[in-house]
Amino acid sequence: MIYSPDTYIAANKFGLGLRPGEAAFIEQDPRGWLQNQLADITAVPARLSTLPSSAYYLAALSDDRMMMQATRQDKDAAAKRETALRESRREMAQDYQAHLQLRLQTAVETETPFAERLPHFWSNHFSVAFSGGQKAVIRQLALPLEQEAIRANLDGDFASLLLAVEQHPAMLIYLDNSVSTGPISVIGKRRERGLNENLAREILELHTLGVNGGYSQNDVTSLAKIITGWTIPEHHIIRLQGVSVDNTTGFTYVPQLHEPGNHRVLGKTYSNRSNDAAQGEQALRDLARHPATARHIAEKLARHFISDTPSQSSIKELENTFLETDGHLPSVHEALITLEEAWLPQHKKLRTPQELVTATARGMELDSAIDSNRQVAGLFTHILTSFNHMPFTALSPAGWEDSASYWASPNGLMKRMEWANSIANLTSRNRDAEYLAEEILRPDAHLQRALANAESSHQAITLLLASPVFQWRS
């Protein structure tokens, strides 16, 4: 059956890809189908409901460090420490793989794919990545960040989302604020620890105002001072007076690390009368409401949901909604749905590798295969590794690129074709490519002819998955 263009756009551009049988339901009211998903956007998907909290992982990390410290005095404990370190690394790697499985399975199974795409969009906007040393723990904290700070705040305003993310341990560790110390703070004067500006710079450049948002180096330094004391629990500081720890995320404010005094950001002075985190929280609320932030967020949303080159009028409409509603995210997200440009079939987006994996699993109904078939799960991991697009491994705090030019190099296109052939090897025996094309893709005469003339089901499935109409969100 042929459905309206709006049905395919709702499911493929705004959502995560059609599943067989889903289009008939969406066809009744494509835009209403999207709008209804915003009503319960913070609901935790069943598969993620048992995910341990960030505080749990940080407590385990602290226990490991205390054990390592206690055994340093034992000359015969070196082997035990090395064994414990290897075990800790192994557990982190296992947790990371389990989290990837949960994240993918949730996206594949969801009946509210627009509501599921939005946490992924904001997770990339507030990108974190793990590496070695102290930052290895981000393997375990990244998905909780997505749940505790991002998903949990998508029904509120951008200021609340911003605060939750910047105070989350994953972000504090990733951009080094967990070790930032006011030079003339109590601990700074005693231990000669220094200020780290990484988080402050990325808050201004990436998370709020944007690179051309009108801030200066002085603003970066001042904001860095304002957010000193925002850190994580450590056994050697949690006994200090006045320290508070969030029971879910593990966020800790340590006044002894905070740079005292008043500080100016974008011409406004922020005082610290109460000696708590409120000084930094007010600065971030003001940044969240800044016109440059509205513009920056509008541009990113338009590029993600319309095309690589959205019109200035669409960006302006989103910007105005952001400003008029004080950054109310449900209103901004709903404004996306009302943009007429987003519903024009000629505007499309190339699926990133992560999106391609999700759309393939949904379209081919591979839900159970991800759990039970190691070959299928392995192929999904292979393409993400091949494209260097494994979740929470972006090469910079800017996150992953959101343009066709980045993902569609000649080598990248070849990898996509090879991957389509590999998926066909495992699945074509029980799949009818012509039926799937009719169920999950907008009509395409070239693809229909190719599938009708295919020499085998394997070739047909390969052609389906490698086709432009599948590779692009349209």
At residue 236, does pLDDT exceed 70?
no
- Say if residues 260 and 185 touch (Cβ distance below 8 Å): yes
Q: How confident is the model at residue 303 (pLDDT cuts 50, 70, 90)?
A: very high
Task: Name the 3-class secondary structure at 252.
Answer: strand
- The pLDDT of residue 77 is 66
Residue-by-residue DSSP string for 4-43: -HHHHIIIIIISS---TT-HHHHTT-HHHHHHHHGGGTTP
Instruction: Evaluate if residue 240 carries a pLDDT over 80.
Output: no
Q: Where are the domains of the chain?
A: 46-288, 353-388+409-473
- pLDDT given for residue 26 in this prediction: 98
When mean pLDDT is compared across 234-243, 432-441, 448-457, the lowest value belongs to 234-243
Render pLDDT for 53-64 as a digit per residue (tens, 0 to 9): 999 999 888 776
Confidence of residue 70 (pLDDT cuts 50, 70, 90): low
Rounded to an integer, what distance in angstroms lies between the CA atom of residue 450 and that of residue 453? 5
Average per-residue pLDDT in the chain? 93
How far does CA 197 lie from the centroid of its chain? 23
For the cut 70, the answer to whether the pLDDT of residue 3 exceeds it is yes
What mean pLDDT do residues 242-248 have? 88
The pLDDT of residue 372 is above 80? no
Write the CA distances from 232 to 30, 247, 413, integer angstroms: 44, 12, 43
Mean pLDDT of 198-216: 97
